[in-house]
Amino acid sequence: MSDPRAPASRGRRRPELAAFLRSRRARITPEDVGLPPAPRRRTPGLRREEVAQLAGVGITWYTWLEQGRPINASPQVLEAVARTLRLDAAERAHLFRLAGVPLDEPSDPVSCLLSEAPDLREVLAGLDPLPAAVSNARSDVLAWNRAYAALFPHLVNAPAAERNTMWMAFTVPPCCNPIVDLDNEGAVFVASFRQRYSRHMDEPGWDDFVRRLRAASPEFARLWATQDVAEPGSRDKVFRHAAVGEVATRATAFDVASARGVRMVVYRPLGEDDRKRVEWLLDNPGAAAADHTH
């Protein structure tokens, strides 16, 4: 284990690490980890000394880690903490990133997308009538095809600073919000977003985006405070459009190999009626336009 007094500048990651560890500790009961039932506690979950004992680390060291103090942590010690807190794969990777411990991830070239843009746009166009778009890790929508524009007119016509699927989900009013069942889907969106955020949290653009979205959406602020994190994956998603009603899709993301975090997302209509609704929107471009502003 590293010297707990060793200096290690972690910047803004330390407060985030502290909040994350507290939230994961609070969800585990003594019974979950084989400890005898405890007397009534003032706060839920394990105590710090119990986490330290189970992980085989010093109580002072773990307390300092959870307080966000500038200490170093070895991969072995973080693995022990992750096992004790029963972190899944996404949460474990999140813990390592917040602690500043490398995960042997590839570099993230900033300009690689620009050189591939013509190829990506050609692929997008070839996917019509399947709605498809290219997004970065922050969920900014960078390019899209006709079917995507037909299904999400409010998004593609938004100012560049708001052309973002997270911003759309949590700020567009119900009259125009295309996401069905946001009460349940919102938690998944935010947990997946936090998984990506931990790779970029020292970047001013990400900081500013999260600050603006927390201010604009109390629901996003509430979900953000849960500290939940999850790996993204293919999911069934249902969208609504004023002209055709609901469209059920299967959303699948494909990474752009040379640009970590940049992905192409393709929405495959699940049923024949869903496919016909998308095709109707493509054949009637006027219906795809937003009919009012806010």
pLDDT of residue 106: 42
Last residue in a domain, options 98, 126, 150: 98
Q: What is the residue range of 51's domain?
A: 13-98
Task: Assess if residue 254 is contained within a domain.
Answer: yes
pLDDT value at position 100? 87
Amino acid 112: pLDDT: 46
- Give 214-221's long-range contacts (Cβ < 8 A, gap of 24+): 216/167, 216/170, 216/171, 217/170, 217/171, 219/170, 219/186, 220/166, 220/170, 220/186, 220/190
User: How many beta carbons lie within 10 A of that of residue 152, not counting itself?
Assistant: 23
- The answer to whether residue 2 is domain-embedded is no
What CATH number did the domain enclosing 25 receive?
1.10.260.40
- The verdict on residue 107 lying in a domain is no
Measured CA to CA, the distance from residue 289 to residue 286 in angstroms comes to 6
* Number of domains comprising the chain: 2
- Domain end marker among 42, 68, 98: 98
- Predicted local distance difference test score (pLDDT) of residue 159: 83
What residues have CB less than 8 Å from 170, skipping those under 6 apart?
A: 186, 213, 216, 217, 219, 220
Residues of the chain under the 70 pLDDT cut: 1-11, 37-41, 103-118, 258-260, 288-294
Asked, for residue 5, whether it belongs to a domain, the answer is no
Verify that 158 and 276 share a domain, yes or no: yes
The Cα–Cα gap between 277 and 264 comes to 22
pLDDT of residue 287: 77
pLDDT given at position 206: 87
Q: Is residue 55 part of a domain?
A: yes
**89 and 118 both lie in a single domain:** no
Select from 34, 69, 98 the last residue of a domain. Answer: 98
Distance CA 140, CA 35 (A): 46
